[in-house]
Each structure stands twice: as C-alpha cells, then as structure tokens.
Structure 1
Amino acid sequence: MKRGNINYKHKDKLKIKVIIDYDGTLTQEEKQVEQLAELAFDTLSKEILKVPREKIRRDYQETQNKILASPNKYTWKVNGLSACYCNEGAFVLNTVTI
C-alpha cells in the first residue's frame, strides 16, 4: 500500500524525529517573554478582566516581585509534586505570575 510519499508497506523503516523544547534550548525565552506577557496583558485587559491595561501591568509587576522574593514558595506542580521553581525560566516565571 502506498500513500503520498510514504510507503506503508515498509513502515518499520520509517523514522520520525520529534523535538520537544522543554528546557528552552531552542527558544530565546528572555527575548520572547516580554512579547508573550504583552499579549496576555491585552487579552486580560480587553476580553477577560475588562480593566485598564496599565493596572494589569502594575499588578503583574507587584505579583512578580512577591514571587521572586520567595521563589521556593511558588513552584510548578505536576500531580502534586514540585516539578520546578517559578524562577527557572522566563516563560515559567511569566506563567506563574499571570
């Protein structure tokens, strides 16, 4: 059986590589996190909370300062276990802050 460019008769020889960037080695978190946060501010301001964007930005900064003062208190939990601290990456910190 042949379909497209893949010969399913020999599917045991087909190799697929999947790259998952859990540790951020393929992204530039520090450069991209600000844009991600700005998108979140827009969505929160216009669609969810319906409050001024500047208030969200202030609250975000205050919350992030509180989190960074005690990062051991704010962890990313998976099935009740801490998988990483909030300050282990820019994207993680942004997500925890929001």
Structure 2
Amino acid sequence: MPLVQRAPGHVAPTMSLPPRRYGRVCVEPNWRPWQGRRKVLELAFREALHLRHNYVGTEHILLALLEPEDGAGVLTGLGMDKATCEAHIGSAVAAVLAAHEEKSP
C-alpha cells in the first residue's frame, strides 16, 4: 500500500520562485527558509522518544514536518496525514527489526 494515496484528478501543489531582477532571483530581505529548522529537529527528537526509538531518522523528521501543518500544509495537500504515516512507519520499522532478529543467532 503506497504511503500517499491520491484522489482521482488530484493536482499536486506547485511552488514558484520570486520574480527575477537583474538576472538574479529577488528574495524578500526577511525571508529565511531555515527559520523553523530548530523546531523541526526538536519535534523530530520528540517523535523518536514517542515511538521509543533510540535514534532520530528521516521518519521522525517526516512526522515532525507533519506536526505543525494542522491539515493546511504542503504534505497534507499531497494526501499525507500524521496518523497514517505513523502507522506505516511503525509497521516498516517492525518489519526491519523482525528481519534483523531472524538473521542474528
């Protein structure tokens, strides 16, 4: 089962860059794409603790990115929700752990 299920006729959201000025992209002086990075890392750490994992991986960052969206973000617009992602991640991690336990004596 794919992680993202798209409805028929679903159009993915697009993002555009600011207009060009003098051959360079004009960016607002107060625009900082990295502003929320610390918060996302904190939320990723909390997600790892919540799932009782002893590491922070990309799955925790994905869940952390879904947290502040409240149903109105880009990932939610792609059809992803936190509960479904959490269930898929849990089953994937369990499958990897089970395969690892079978290999070890």
* TM-score where L is the length of structure 1: 0.29
Higher strand share: 1
Q: Which has the higher contact order (CA 8 A, sep 6+)?
A: 2
Q: What's the TM-score once normalised by structure 2's chain length?
A: 0.27
When Rg is computed on C-alpha atoms for both structures, the one with the higher figure is 1
